[in-house]
Amino acid sequence: NTVCVVGLGYIGLPTAAVLAQAGKTVVGVDVEQTTVDAINDGRVPFAEEGLEAVVAGVVAQGRLSAGTVMPRADAYIVAVPTPFRGDRAIDLSYIESAAESIAPRLEGGELIVLESTSPPGTTEHMAGVLLRARPDLTDAPGSPASLHFAHAPERVLPGRIMIEMVDNDRIIGGTTPEAAELTRDLYASFCHGELLLTDARTAEMAKLTENAFRDVNIAFANELSIIAERQGIDVWELIELANHHPRVNILKPGPGVGGHCIAVDPWFIVAAEPEASRLIATAREVNDAKPDHVLRKVLERADRFKKPTVAALGISFKPDIDDLRESPSKEICIALADQLPDAVVLVVEPNIDQLPSELDGRDNVELTEMDDAVSRADIVLLLVDHTPFKNFDRDRLREKVLIDTRGLWR
Ligand code: SAJ
């Protein structure tokens, strides 16, 4: 029972590792030779709690190996990127080329599972690419030449991947009921959560819906924060009061929405149904406009200083991580450095020890400690609610212009 995992990134590699741990013979495929070499050495090319120990163990036992050439296998799991290219277009070329390299290895009877976050219809599209390359095979069940296609979207939280991969419930959508059942049998080997069967399109949409739900709700909070500001109302008090209602649960406003998922996935729905997705598209726009609102507020306050010093607290996309991908806080710092050449921007980010390339080496930007930044600052701009910021001595902030985008110091 050989499983091939195509794409050994944040999702593919942990999936390969837990499958091997569950007793499968797993071959991982990636285009990056350095990734392949690292894995065959029992090392992991990125940080994820608990992953390296499992990879080292299953590689040593000979259950997991990696390569750049597509092998023959009984099941294939495709976990390649589906980048959002702007202009509301999604790049499916990684899925297409994975399918093209799987096609010549097939003999009939194989299961091909798509894990990548994808717009509705992508599993069927992948099946189409494979079947065009192999007209001798079929997607109709019941014959030795049958192929089985399914979508099993990943919903793990980075930092907790090794736990959530095993514990979370899992949606499994087949292009046929038989394909869904075969996928369930494979995933049951390592997943202890509930395995919920449906069709492929519903599974694709479910993953996108979860992240769009969150995005729309954060947009509501972000919009409220601007309305409240204009009305002279403290939005944090407002939300706290409204949330006492038994059926109201407003999320937290902030400087914008970052990360690779919530800020991207809703566009997959909009791209599929532009006219019907008015609320989802507007929510994206509301959240994407929030960093600019924060920036203008800082520029307004900075106007009264000749050479303002701004302490920017936090540049990661959410608290207590070092991930700067699509981070609104980082974008705000870059824009401040661009638009205030005479100012000094003191970045405080306890989870990194070097500034990212867009900020590094600039004359007016420095990475420093909280104490130093606050002592030197005219303006203190709180961007991320990192735990170490919470208990900071409030007396030290009294003389400063304070802009708290997270309501941490109300
Ligand atoms: N944010 C707010 N206010 C809030 C909550 C979040 O401004 O009330 C911001 C955060 O600061 C951050 C962004 O939203 O910039 C996203 O953070 P998050 O912690 O809500 O979510 P992610 O992007 O780390 O992970 C999400 C998760 N999805 C859901 O909770 C529905 C995760 O389970 C998914 O696996 C992941 O996306 C994914 O890969 O799709």
Mutate to test the pocket of ligand 1, among 11, 48, 157 (most ligand atoms within 8 A of CB): 157
The gap between the terminal CA atoms of the chain, to the nearest Å, is: 58
The whole-angstrom separation of Cα 186 and Cα 12 is 15
With residue 310 as reference, give the H or E element that holds it: strand 309-313
Q: What is the dihedral of CA 287, 323, 85, 219, to 10 degrees?
A: -10
Which of 149-163, 173-187, 275-289 is predicted with the least confidence, judged by mean pLDDT? 149-163
Q: How far is the CA of 81 from the centre of ligand 1 (A)?
A: 19
State pTM to two decimals: 0.92
The whole-angstrom separation of Cα 84 and Cα 263 is 10
The whole-angstrom separation of Cα 303 and Cα 317 is 27
- Active-site residue, 261 included: yes
Q: List the domain boundaries for the chain.
A: 2-193, 211-404
Output the pLDDT for position 48: 87
The whole-angstrom separation of Cα 23 and Cα 201 is 30
Q: Say what the ipTM of the complex is.
A: 0.95
Average pLDDT on 364-368 reads 97
Contact 243, 217 (CB under 8 A): no
Determine how β-strand 170-174 pairs with β-strand 148-151: antiparallel
Output the pLDDT for position 237: 97
Output the pLDDT for position 159: 82
Share of the chain above pLDDT 70, in %: 100
Average pLDDT on 264-290 reads 97
Q: How far is the CA of 241 from the centre of ligand 1 (A)?
A: 24
Output the pLDDT for position 380: 98
Please give the DSSP secondary-structure letter assigned to residue 392: -
Q: Sort 140 into a burial class: Cβ within 10 Å, 0-12 / 13-18 / 19+.
A: exposed
Q: Which atom of ligand 1 is nearest to the CA of 210?
A: 31
What would the pLDDT profile of 51-73 be if each residue is shown by its tens digit? 999 999 999 999 999 999 999 99
Output the pLDDT for position 165: 96
Average pLDDT on 351-373 reads 96
Check whether 88 has a pLDDT greater than 80. no
The whole-angstrom separation of Cα 65 and Cα 42 is 9
- Active-site residue, 24 included: no
Mutate to test the pocket of ligand 1, among 154, 164, 262 (most ligand atoms within 8 A of CB): 262
Q: The domain 211-404: what is its CATH number?
A: 3.40.50.720
| Helices and strands (DSSP H and E) totals, the chain | 14, 13
Please give the C-alpha separations between residue 311 and each of 124, 253, 357, in angstroms, as whole numbers: 50, 21, 19
Output the pLDDT for position 269: 96
Check whether 86 has a pLDDT greater than 80. no
Output the pLDDT for position 158: 82
Output the pLDDT for position 144: 96
Averaged pLDDT score across all residues of the chain: 96
Check whether 384 has a pLDDT greater than 90. yes
Q: How is domain 2-193 classified at the CATH fold level?
A: Rossmann fold (3.40.50)
Contacts of 162 (CB under 8 A, 6+ apart): 14, 18, 48, 49, 50, 51, 54
Contact 42, 76 (CB under 8 A): no
Q: Residue 349: what residue type?
A: E
- Which residues is 105 bridged to in the sheet? none
The whole-angstrom separation of Cα 97 and Cα 102 is 9
Q: How far is the CA of 254 from the centre of ligand 1 (A)?
A: 12
What would the pLDDT profile of 197-210 be if each residue is shown by its tens digit? 999 999 999 999 99
Q: Which of 24, 191, 207, 318 is catalytic?
A: 207
Average pLDDT on 8-28 reads 97
Q: Which atom of ligand 1 is nearest to the CA of 254?
A: 7
The whole-angstrom separation of Cα 266 and Cα 270 is 7
- 89 pLDDT tier (thresholds 50, 70, 90): confident
Same-fold call for 2-193 versus 211-404 = yes
Contact 100, 133 (CB under 8 A): yes
φ, ψ at 226 (rounded to 5°): -75, -40
Output the pLDDT for position 200: 98
Average pLDDT on 185-214 reads 98
What would the pLDDT profile of 305-352 be if each residue is shown by its tens digit? 999 999 999 999 999 888 898 999 999 999 999 999 999 999 999 999
Q: What is the dihedral of CA 107, 109, 111, 112, to 10 degrees?
A: 40
The alpha helices in 231-327, defined as continuous H runs, are 235-242, 265-272, 278-302
Output the pLDDT for position 350: 94
Greater pLDDT, 46 or 266: 266
Output the pLDDT for position 1: 86
